[in-house]
Amino acid sequence: MTDCLFCKIVAKEIPSTPVGETDLIYAFRDIAPTAPTHVLLIPKEHLASSAGDLGSDDGPWMADLFVLAAQIAADEGLDDGWRLITNVGPAAGQTVFHIHFHLMGGW
């Protein structure tokens, strides 16, 4: 999607700090972290605007995202626990409408 911030980040049109990736998923540091570790995980393709738009065929990339999240949590030393959060809609605080998950920990 041409005017999507996260599509531009995947395309490297906007710089980001990578943390990990798979063929389907890109993970990078949040520009305004609200936890000591605050990483965003997104599908490289603009597959949905939020978790409110998912269907049963979204299983494979979602599984990839959760496996990568656990690998990053281990790499970041989040042994005491971590959160994986997705906001759906402006009332929940969603500001970027390319589905993404916040991996947070390290308190």
Other CB atoms within 10 Å distance of the CB of residue 5: 13
x-marked contacts with Zn ion along 26-55 as a string, rule CB under 5 A = --------------------x---------
The listed partner (ligand 5GP, Zn ion, none) that binds 4, CB under 5 to 8 Å by sort, is: Zn ion
Kindly state the helix (H) or strand (E) to which residue 9 belongs, with its residue range.
helix 5-10
Distance of CA 62 to CAs 2, 32, 69, 73, Å?
Answer: 23, 24, 10, 16
| Catalytic site includes residue 46 | no
Active site residues: 100
Binding site residues, Zn ion, CB under 5 A: 1, 4, 6-7, 46, 98
